[in-house]
Amino acid sequence: MNTGTLLLWKRRAWSSLSASRRGLPREKLPEAGEQVPGSGPRAKVLTLDTMNPTVKKVQYAVRGPIVQRAVELERELSEGVKKPFSEVIKANIGDAHAMGQQPITFFRQVLALCSYPELMSDSSFPDDAKSRANRILKSCGGHSIGAYSSSQGIDAVREDVARYIERRDGGIPCDPAHIYLTTGASDGIMTMLKLLVSGEGSSRSGVMISIPQYPLYSAALAELGAVQINYYLNEERCWSMDLSELQRSLEEARRHCNPRALCIINPGNPTGQVQSRQCIEDVIRFAAKERLFLMADEVYQDNVYAEGCHFHSFKKVLFEMGPEFSETVELVSFHSTSKCYMGECGFRGGFMEIINMDEEVKVELNKLLSVRLCPPVPGQAMMDLVVNPPQPGEPSYPTFIRERSTTLGSLAEKARLTEQVLNTVEGISCNPVQGAMYSFPRIFIPEGAVREATVKGQLPDMFYCLRLLEETGICLVPGSGFGQKDGTYHFRMTILPPKEKLQILLSKVQEFHQRFTLQFS
């Protein structure tokens, strides 16, 4: 993978988009090289040359140039510009409500009650919603969600999270003192990486991440100036983790950095696999032996569709392995309100559970969190409802169960549909979507197309996805944004569009791929 070319192309794409969106002629923008600090009234203080160099290294394909182009196309369509399609379908990001998924009624009732407590006297709201809202408000300063919470999060919510984890993990105890509420999972992941990073030169911290990965990880490591250590998932074996590959990756990394943490996303993003219990045990043994801090991104814990697959939390497996592991291995697990059956991304709710963290480091963590004051309280309230939903016997229980099953059932159906249709296409090969919300099929790109992409300074899968977008209005993210083995190409698509739209999307991809292959063969 030629990262230099990719970066260059991305820079160009972003810049020209940005300029054209503002109606500025591109040639009027000063070139970085032209700006000599202090040379005249037009020179800026903050330029590409003078800005923080680590920020320039950050890339985030999920909202990258292809998505900017999709937004432009939407605007053009709405202005009446003729296109070979009538609608842009954005399957680039796991944004369930934007794709028409309905919120859980109970969650939104409680949020309305918390926002405007005068509704407590409204008889159309069920009692269980009122009691949840009361419990949350009582734990807020001045009984208002407009007060700051403690930086670690509202006590009552952290207690509810701890009880949820205990139920999920078959009774293994969870201490609310180990729970930290966060601004979505991204915030927690960023915070933990920030703690872990230190050193210079060959003692610089390295963090192991899967390839393909969710690009928050690479972006965070770039921003923090840490070393990204790639370990490759095994596409032939349904994106499973190989111990030998972990070992290879670690040993190579030790030559030039200090590996300190190992990140796993399970169920997988972008790859949709669900790791087996055995695999998780192996990973824990590996982390213990090699002295790595484990970071388990478990935000898709309810999104398991394939028969025979189950979600096993790292916490549970760790404790089942006995005190030799459960008392020593340092583990943080992340969850979020954004995924699963609720898809409440906009609330930016999340939590992390931290096991076996050094007490003195925890003091530093609390101090660091206090600077940002607290995670958004409505997001904390939403997280509370996710971990403390209606119970059997409560008035909202039947509706809640029906809504949840409908959403999860539909996701399971769309997971199967996606795999099925894509695998009928010659030149596309797709692992089962066992869990999460994405398919990451391998696409075979003809030599001719690879050459043309190279001439244009584009990576072949970016070239492919851009053409797909221009010809069909479908927005997918090229595999290069997540990382892939050299010489292989993929795209990520979410399975979130409503079934009818997903069917259109899949058949358009099918037609496009055939046309594309024919054209360049």
- Helix residue ranges per DSSP H, 424-459: 447-455
Judged by CB under 8 A, the residue of 101, 139, 333, 407 near a copy of itself is 101
Q: How far is the CB of 243 from a copy of itself (least distance, A)?
A: 19
Q: Does 501 sit near a copy of itself (CB under 8 A)?
A: no
Phi and psi at 289, nearest 5°, equal: -65, -40
Judged by CB under 8 A, the residue of 1, 5, 18, 520 near a copy of itself is 18
User: Considering only 98-106, 244-252, 409-417, 502-510, which stretch makes contact with a copy of itself by CB under 8 A?
Assistant: 98-106
Q: Does 144 sit near a copy of itself (CB under 8 A)?
A: yes
Determine the length of the chain: 521
Q: Does 392 sit near a copy of itself (CB under 8 A)?
A: no
x/- contact string, 290-309, with a copy of itself (CB under 8 A)? -xxx----------------
User: Considering only 159-167, 375-383, 422-430, 434-442, which stretch makes contact with a copy of itself by CB under 8 A?
Assistant: 375-383
Q: How far is the CB of 78 from a copy of itself (least distance, A)?
A: 13
Q: Does 402 sit near a copy of itself (CB under 8 A)?
A: no
User: Considering only 77-85, 115-123, 426-434, 513-521, which stretch makes contact with a copy of itself by CB under 8 A?
Assistant: 115-123
Which residues, including other chains, have CB under 8 Å from residue 53's CB and lie 6 or more apart? none
What's the rounded Cα separation, in Å, for the pair 184 and 341? Answer: 16
Judged by CB under 8 A, the residue of 1, 5, 29, 452 near a copy of itself is 29
What's the rounded Cα separation, in Å, for the pair 410 and 400? Answer: 15
**Token pair of 326 as six digits:** 């459960």
Q: Does 156 sit near a copy of itself (CB under 8 A)?
A: no
C-alpha distances out from residue 46 to 11, 30, 35, 50, 211, Å: 17, 13, 10, 6, 34
Packing angle, helices 127-138 and 105-115, rounded to 10: 50
Q: How far is the CB of 479 from a copy of itself (least distance, A)?
A: 19
Phi and psi at 265, nearest 5°, equal: -110, 115
The residues pairing with 435 across neighbouring beta strands, listed in sequence order, are 304
Closer residue to a copy of itself (CB): 28 or 82:
28
Q: Does 37 sit near a copy of itself (CB under 8 A)?
A: yes
Q: How far is the CB of 361 from a copy of itself (least distance, A)?
A: 5
Closer residue to a copy of itself (CB): 151 or 240:
151
Size of the site for a copy of itself (CB under 8 A): 113
- Helix residue ranges per DSSP H, 300-358: 314-320, 323-326
Q: Containing H/E element for 379?
A: helix 377-387
Q: Does 91 sit near a copy of itself (CB under 8 A)?
A: no
Phi and psi at 355, nearest 5°, equal: -110, 135
Site for a copy of itself in 185-224 (CB under 8 A): 186-187, 190, 194-198, 215-216, 219-220, 223
User: Considering only 17-25, 273-281, 454-462, 499-507, which stretch makes contact with a copy of itself by CB under 8 A?
Assistant: 17-25
Closer residue to a copy of itself (CB): 279 or 332:
332
Closer residue to a copy of itself (CB): 219 or 246:
219
Q: How far is the CB of 510 from a copy of itself (least distance, A)?
A: 26
Q: Does 100 sit near a copy of itself (CB under 8 A)?
A: yes
Q: First vs last Cα of the chain: how many Å apart?
A: 22
Which residues, including other chains, have CB under 8 Å from residue 357's CB and lie 6 or more apart? 178, 330, 332, 365
Q: Are 344 and 376 in contact (CB under 8 A)?
A: no
Judged by CB under 8 A, the residue of 91, 93, 445, 462 near a copy of itself is 93
What's the rounded Cα separation, in Å, for the pair 233 and 271? Answer: 9
Helix, strand, coil % in the chain, rounded to nearest 5:
50, 15, 35
Q: How far is the CB of 149 from a copy of itself (least distance, A)?
A: 7
DSSP state of 461: H
Closer residue to a copy of itself (CB): 346 or 446:
346
Q: Are 372 and 149 in contact (CB under 8 A)?
A: no
User: Considering only 140-148, 402-410, 431-439, 456-464, which stretch makes contact with a copy of itself by CB under 8 A?
Assistant: 140-148
| Cis amide bond preceding 378, omega within 30 | no
User: Considering only 296-304, 366-374, 469-477, 508-516, which stretch makes contact with a copy of itself by CB under 8 A?
Assistant: 366-374
Q: Does 148 sit near a copy of itself (CB under 8 A)?
A: yes
What's the rounded Cα separation, in Å, for the pair 287 and 281? Answer: 10
Closer residue to a copy of itself (CB): 63 or 416:
63
Judged by CB under 8 A, the residue of 56, 248, 256, 456 near a copy of itself is 56
Residue 4, burial from CB neighbour count under 10 angstroms (0-12, 13-18, 19+): exposed
| Max CA pair span of the chain | 74
Closer residue to a copy of itself (CB): 215 or 441:
215
Q: How far is the CB of 428 from a copy of itself (least distance, A)?
A: 28
Q: Does 131 sit near a copy of itself (CB under 8 A)?
A: no
Q: Does 429 sit near a copy of itself (CB under 8 A)?
A: no
